[in-house]
Amino acid sequence: MTEASVHRWRFLLLVAGSALFLLPSTMAVALVSLPLAAGITVSIAAAASHAALLALRRAPTIALLAITATTAVQALVTGLFVLLPSTALVLVALHGASARGDRRVAIAAAVLGPVAAAFRYAADPAIVGGGFGPAPWLLAVLLLAVCAVAVATGTLRRSELRVTRLVATQLELEERDRAHREEAAAAAERARISRDLHDVLAHSLTVIVGQARVARFDPDGAEGALDVIEDTARESLRDLRVTLRTLRGGGPEADLHRPPTLADLPGLAARMQDLGLQVRRRTTGTPRVLGPAAESAMHRFVQEGLTNALRHGEGVLDWEQRWCEDRIMIRLHNAVPSPPRSTPGSGLGLSGMRERLESVGGSLRVERTTGFAVCASVPYPSQAVADARDAL
């Protein structure tokens, strides 16, 4: 059962209980102590007060005005209306209006009601002549105190409800923020997997297509080309299986798979040279330690650059690797520009490079002055932290 259902049942019990215990006694007192016509009038007004109580939850201010009006009818009949049990409904209505309705109306009723009751009490001839009950001013003080308690407890309840709404709003905002973060994380993961798939497939398919041409036009080198195709396809299939397993939630094979590092670059360059790409590599500076993500990003950058050069380039690819003071920079330059492509996937490699490098704090620069060159840079871990701190 929800909290709203609990409050609804409590309210219904309040209405039913008051009607069961207060209304019969009010009608009995009115019919016994008053003339028949007056007793019937008071009984009908009391029953109307209990009926108006049903609107207290949805329209507390209207319910207060209705109960005040029916109580005023009882006051017109007898000055001793304050002794009728159903008069206590005024206090319940004051509490409800202070908690959920217009507090100005509740305060006005809490002040004017006791004053009017005291005047009516003092103006009743039966009370004045018989010397019954307390003095009118004392009655006014007592009624003002009781009404003030009802308004004060209602105001306290209003504060509790406000705090509850604020907490609920805050929780809703936090839930939305969490959902947005999850969506952003999922989008980033999809982008990462897309880049991985592109790197794996683009590299392997380029090698396979190139070696298939060798096997077709060079019968003497067909066996070696087929060996390269087999090895490349097997490696690509393994990488693809690991990527898909990671997409489905990981697994033993995904956990054992070592991400590519800078130490794998010489072997990658050697394989490309075996496939016919001329690579001139030059390294300067003192090597530094990079994080696994940064090393993987730089390896994928070089792999993509070499693959593009093998696919489109003719001549020599200059590979310059510099270990600078605060970052590593790798520049791949092919004097022969890459021919323009009109396929639907054109440009995916460059965008994938840039996204991968930016995810580790790096950057990508494309140069098209003489031939085609791409330059990637990634800061060292300590420098990346300092850059992030300066950005904040």
Flag whether pLDDT at 191 surpasses 50: yes
Q: What's the whole-number mean pLDDT along residues 139-168?
A: 92
> How does pLDDT run across 241-299, given as a tens digit for each residue?
766 666 665 544 444 456 778 888 888 888 788 777 888 899 999 888 888 888 888 88
Greater pLDDT, 37 or 338: 37
pLDDT for the residue numbered 391:
47
25-39, 119-133, 266-280, 281-295: the lowest-pLDDT one: 119-133
pLDDT for the residue numbered 386:
47
CATH of domain 262-392: 3.30.565.10
Token pair, residue 390, equals 């300066």
How far apart are the C-alpha atoms of 161 and 100, rounded to whole Å?
9
Provide Rg for the chain, Cα atoms.
43
> How does pLDDT run across 334-371, given as a tens digit for each residue?
876 555 443 334 445 677 788 888 888 899 998 876 77
How far apart are the C-alpha atoms of 65 and 89, rounded to whole Å?
12
Name the residue ranges covered by the structural domains of the chain: 3-133, 262-392
Per-residue 3-state assignment (H helix, E strand, C coil) for 278-329: EEEEEEEECCCCCCHHHHHHHHHHHHHHHHHHHHHCCCEEEEEEEECCCEEE
Q: What's the whole-number mean pLDDT along residues 64-79?
A: 92
> How does pLDDT run across 321-332, given as a tens digit for each residue?
999 988 999 999
pLDDT for the residue numbered 44:
95
> How does pLDDT run across 290-322, given as a tens digit for each residue?
888 888 888 888 888 887 787 765 568 899 999
In the chain, what is the greatest distance between 2 CA atoms, to the nearest angstrom?
135
> How does pLDDT run across 75-110, given as a tens digit for each residue?
999 888 888 999 999 999 999 999 999 999 999 999
How far apart are the C-alpha atoms of 240 and 236, rounded to whole Å?
6
pLDDT for the residue numbered 252:
45
The residues pairing with 186 across neighbouring beta strands, listed in sequence order, are none
pTM of the complete model: 0.52
Judge whether 71 and 111 are in contact, CB under 8 Å. Answer: no
